[in-house]
Amino acid sequence: MRNRKISIFDTTLRDGEQTPGVSLTPEQKIEIAHQLSKLGVDTIEAGFPIASAGDMESVRNIANAGLTSEVCGLARVLTKDLDTCIDAGVGMIHTFVSTSDIQRIHTIKKSREEVVEMSVNAVQYIKDHGMRCMFSAMDATRTDLDYLIEVYKAVEDAGCDIINVPDTVGIIAPSGMYRLISKLDKEMNIPIDTHCHNDFGLAVANSLMAIEAGASQAQVTVNGLGERAGNADLAETVMSLHSIYGAKTNINTEYIVETARMVERYTGVQIPPHMPIVGENAFAHESGIHTHGVLENSDTFEPGIMTPEMVGHTRRIVLGKHAGKHAVLRSLQSANINPTDAQLDAIIKKVKMLADKGKRITDADLYTIAFDILGRPEGMPPIDLKEVSVMTGNITTSTAVVKALFNGKECVASNVGVGPVDAALKAVETLIGQHAKVTIHDFRIEAVTGGSDALAEVVIGVQNDKGRIVTARAANVDIVLASVEALVTAINMLLKT
C-alpha cells in the first residue's frame, strides 16, 4: 500500500444529495463542484441528468465549468439516460444495472441473460460516442460471484474503462470485501472502484479493505452523506490512506475541513462534534491528563501521523470539570492574563463549579471569572451594541441592520441572509470588517426552556486572522438577539485580550 496512488471519486452531488431532506440548488452545486476541484478529487459525479431538469442544468454547468477534476454523469443502462449524459457534456458516464437476484427479479424484472446484454449494449453505446465509461453491477455484494464475474468480464470485453463494485445496502463485512475484490482483481484487466454504504458503520473500513485487496479507486462523499446511513466519508477514507497506509492521492488535505463546512452549510446537515477529522471536537481536549500531555507534545494524545494543520483544522483546549491547571493557565496566557498560583487555583475552582452545573465553559466565561478574581476592571468593550433590526422577506431572504459604538464611534451596517439569524450575524461581520478581520468559527443554538417563549442559548466562536479562537454565549427569548449578543461578546473578548 505504501506509495500506491489511489484515485478519489466524489459523489456528494449525486448520492450525497440523495440524503433525505437534502436538495441543492444549481448555484450551490456549482460552488461545491469548484470546491471539490480545489480539493483535488479525481472525478466528480455531478448528478443524475435524467432525474430532473434542474439536475440536467447542474450537470451541464459543472461539465462546462473548466474544472481540473473529471466530471461524470450517472445513467441507467437505457439509451435515453445515456443520451442525456452525452447532451450534458460530461467526460465520463457511470452506467449501472441491478445484478443481484433480489433486485433483478423484483425491480427491473429481467433475466440474467438480459442484464448482461443490456450492460454490454450500454457500454458499447458510450464507447461509440468516444466517452469514458464506468460500469456498476448494482448490489454487487449480494450477487452470485460467478454471475458477477460474468457481467464484469462482458463489459470489459465491450470496452469499459473501469468497473465499480457497489455495496449497495451496506451489508458486507470488511473481510468479505477483501475476499471479493481479491477474486475480482484476479479476473479483471481494468481498474476496480468501490462504492460502500454505511448501514453498519463499515463504509470506510470496506473501502480500505477493497483498496488493500487491489481496488485503485474509492467512491466517497463529503461528511459521509448519502442514502440511508450514507456513504464512505471522504475525510476518513483519504486521511486513513495518507496517514495509516502511506498511500498517495491527489487530495489537497488542507482544504478538507473547509470543504466539509461548505457542504454542511449548503445541505443543512450538521457535522456531529465528535465526527473524526472534521468535527468540532476532532482535535479538542478537556481532560487534565490529556491537555497536559498535548500542551507538552501533541503526539501524546493525538495520532501524530495526522495533525489538525494537515486537514485545515485547529487544536482546541476545552475547559470543563475535567480541566487541569496547565490547560486553564495556557488559555489565560493566550489572552495576556497571568494569574499567580493562588489566583489560578481560585479561577479553576470557579470554572469547575460552573461546569458541575452542566454549563459549557466559553472563553468569555473564563475571562470574566479571571477578571473578577484578579480584580481587573473589564472597562468599556470595543463594541457597544445599540440596536438590531431585522426584516424578513416572504420567501427566504432576510435583511438586518446593526447599530453599535465601536471604540466610542457610531457605526451602522446591514446585510442579507437566509433567515433573520444569518442576516443579523452577517450584518455584525460587515460592521466589524471595517475595523478588524474576524470570522465565525462555530455556532450552536440550544433551547434552554420549553414552549413557544423558550429561552434560546447561543454559543458562538470567532477566529481572528492569526488563528486565535474565542467562544462566548448569550441567552434570550429572541434567538436573533441571543445570536448577535453572543457574537459581539466573543469579538469583544478577542479584541480586548
- Contact call for residues 351 and 368 (beta carbons, < 8 A): no
Across 430-452, average pLDDT: 75
Cell of 328: 486553564
| Sheet-wide strand order for 456-464 | 438-447, 456-464, 469-476
Across 46-55, average pLDDT: 94
From the number of C-beta atoms within 10 Å of its C-beta (0-12, 13-18, 19+), residue 132 rates as: middle
Across 405-431, average pLDDT: 88
Q: Tell how strand 192-196 and strand 217-220 pair up.
A: parallel
pLDDT greater at residue 26 or residue 330:
26
Per the listing, cell 500542551 goes with 295
The amino acid present at 74, given as its one-letter code, is: L
Phi, then psi, of 301 in degrees rounded to 5: -130, 25
User: Residue 291 has what pLDDT?
Assistant: 40
Cell of 444: 450552536
- Quick: pLDDT tens for 99-134: 999 999 999 999 999 999 999 999 999 999 999 999
Q: Which CATH class is domain 7-267?
A: alpha beta
- Quick: pLDDT tens for 249-297: 999 999 999 999 999 989 999 999 899 999 988 877 544 333 444 444 5
Please tell me the distance from the alpha carbon of residue 196 to that of residue 208, in angstroms, as a whole number.
10
Cell of 10: 466524489
Please tell me the distance from the alpha carbon of residue 145 to that of residue 113, in angstroms, as a whole number.
15
**Domain regions of the chain by residue span:** 7-267, 284-374, 383-496
Q: Is 383-496 in the same CATH topology as 7-267? A: no
Q: Tell how strand 192-196 and strand 132-138 pair up.
A: unpaired
Phi, then psi, of 378 in degrees rounded to 5: -75, -25
Q: Which of 105-119, 273-287, 311-325, 376-390 has the highest mean pLDDT?
A: 105-119
**386 pLDDT higher than 50:** yes
- Quick: pLDDT tens for 177-226: 999 999 999 999 999 999 999 999 999 999 999 999 999 999 999 999 99
Q: Evaluate whether the domain defined by 383-496 bears CATH number 3.30.420.10.
A: no
Across 353-360, average pLDDT: 73
Q: Tell how strand 383-392 and strand 316-317 pair up.
A: unpaired
Beta-carbon-side half-sphere exposure of residue 240 (alpha carbons within 13 Å): 19
User: Residue 285 has what pLDDT?
Assistant: 55
Please tell me the distance from the alpha carbon of residue 151 to that of residue 476, in angstroms, as a whole number.
62
pLDDT greater at residue 424 or residue 76:
76
Please give the share of the chain, as a percent, with pLDDT higher than 70.
Answer: 89
Please tell me the distance from the alpha carbon of residue 361 to that of residue 422, in angstroms, as a whole number.
24
Residue 349 binned pLDDT confidence (cut-offs 50, 70, 90): confident
Across 402-410, average pLDDT: 88
